[in-house]
Amino acid sequence: MFQIRTDLALEARELYQKDKRQEIPGVEVEQKKEEDALITRVRILDQQGSELMGKSEGEYITIESPGLKKADADLKDQISKILAKELKGIFPYKENMKTLIVGLGNWDITPDALGPQVVSKVFVTRHLFEAYHKSSDETMTSVSAISPGVMGTTGIETTEIVRGIVEKTKPDLVVAVDALASRKMERIHTTIQIATTGIQPGSGVGNARLELSEKTLGIPVFAIGVPTVVDAATLASDTIGLVVEHLMDQTSKDSKFYSLLQGIASEDQYRLLREVLDPYGANVMVTTKDIDKIIKDISQVIANGLNIALHPGIDLKDVNRYLN
């Protein structure tokens, strides 16, 4: 059976609801509206919910803001503050906390370069603590960062690299940042997902590697991701769905043609398109033409959120000065 590709727990829930027309057992959902942003919390509470969602047990926080595609400085600052607030709410803070930020992805492929670009903008401080023999500071915590690359260029599993760094530097938590895949073009570049469950590098593009999680690293692992791509079959399926909806609006509900249109399920559309595209290698991943600027902007938003969340003495004025 073909599965529509998505890394977003929010979309996995939507797909289940559309198919079963009911809430998912073992899953709690909470939404709240902030200025220019919608925050959705999806909590997978047990094994049943995990199996039905296809996601690990834990919490998934989604921040949606359509304006992020063409965000001005004020909106970017606002989303950074929202992200920082959400991160502060889930990070297990402790005295002398040490954090390792891992930028997953490939520097040479722009839609996959979100993680490395975030790492280039975060305020790393571990070397300062080491140089001045300090274990704590009122204004900052110990933060280190790494962009381990991808297995195709290093020949090493990303989790193996990160595990070695964790064993040597002994951080209290890991934050992994990666590009994700969505099933809706409207969520590309407009959505940030935070997960308490870690992440499986490459899963969004069908090239899943060994997961980064508390199970594999022995410490809490949080993931921050933004959808930057959608697969061609999903894009075509959504387009067909819009055409079908338009035709239904123009057709009498008593006609046979309306009944035929009503019977075309999106899952069937997607399965047919995958069957047609896959043998020709045509089911490619699709992104937008302005991806360079968008990755630059979104990476700044995430880096700002991390810098504010991890360093008590840093605010937006400080991080913007640091990044500029």
Q: Are 238 and 193 contained in the same domain?
A: no
Based on the domain organization, do 62 and 164 belong to the same domain? yes
pTM for the model stands at 0.84
Per-residue pLDDT band at 58 (split at 50, 70, 90): very high
Residue 117 pLDDT > 60: yes
Residue 119, domain member (yes or no): yes
Same domain assignment for residues 162 and 103? yes
- Nearest-angstrom CA–CA distance, 44 and 32: 18
Any idea of the CA torsion for 151, 50, 238, 23, to the nearest 10 degrees?
-160
Specify whether 83 is located in the same domain as 210.
yes
pLDDT beyond 60 at 88: yes
Q: What contacts 187, CB < 8 A, 6 or more positions away?
A: 8, 11, 64, 227
Q: In the structure encoding, which two tokens stand for residue 48, read together?
A: 């049943």
SS3 319: helix
- pLDDT-derived band at 297 (thresholds 50, 70, 90) equals very high
Domain of 265, in residue numbers = 234-280
Same domain, residue pair 68 and 180: yes
Total domains present in the chain: 2
Query: Please, which residues have CB within 8 angstroms of residue 168's CB and are 6 or more apart in sequence?
Result: none
Q: Are both 92 and 179 inside the same structural domain?
A: yes
Same domain, 162 and 275: no
CATH code at position 158: 3.40.50.1450
Residue 172 belongs to some domain of the structure: yes
| pLDDT at 73 (0 to 100) | 87
Residues 22 and 158 in one domain: yes
Structure tokens, 110: 């722009």
Query: pLDDT (tens digit, 9 = 90+) per residue, 240-286?
Result: 777 777 788 888 888 877 777 766 655 566 666 666 666 655 557 77
Considering just the CA atoms, what is the radius of gyration of the chain in Å?
A: 21
Q: Percentage of the chain surpassing pLDDT 70?
A: 84
Give the span between the Cα atoms of 139 and 80, in whole angstroms: 19
Return d(Cα 163, Cα 140) in angstroms, integer: 25
Query: Is position 182 within any domain?
Result: yes
User: Considering only CA atoms, which of 52, 181, 30, 160 is closest in space to residue 102?
Assistant: 160
In a domain, residue 323? The reply is no
Tokens of 131: 């140089």
| Separation of alpha carbons 182 and 228, rounded Å | 8
Say if 2 falls within a structural domain: no
86-90, 111-115, 153-157, 163-167: least confident range: 153-157
Q: Which residues, in sequence order, are bridge partners of residue 169?
A: none
Looking at the fold, whether 120 and 140 belong to one and the same domain comes out as yes
* Residue 129 shares a structural domain with residue 273: no
Q: pLDDT tier at 1 (50, 70, 90 boundaries)?
A: very low
For 216-272, give the DSSP string: HHSS-EEEEEEEEEEEHHHHHHHHHHHHHHHHHHTS-TTSHHHHHHHT--HHHHHHH
Structure tokens at 24: 């998912």
**Would you say residue 92 lies in a domain?**
yes
Residue 274 and residue 160 in one domain: no
The pLDDT mean for the chain works out to 85
Per-residue confidence band for 232, with pLDDT thresholds at 50, 70 and 90: confident
| Within a domain: 3 | no
Instruction: Quote the CA–CA distance of 236 and 89 in Å, as a whole number.
Output: 38
Has residue 203 got a pLDDT over 60? no
68 with 126, same domain: the answer is yes
- Establish if 256 belongs to a structural domain: yes
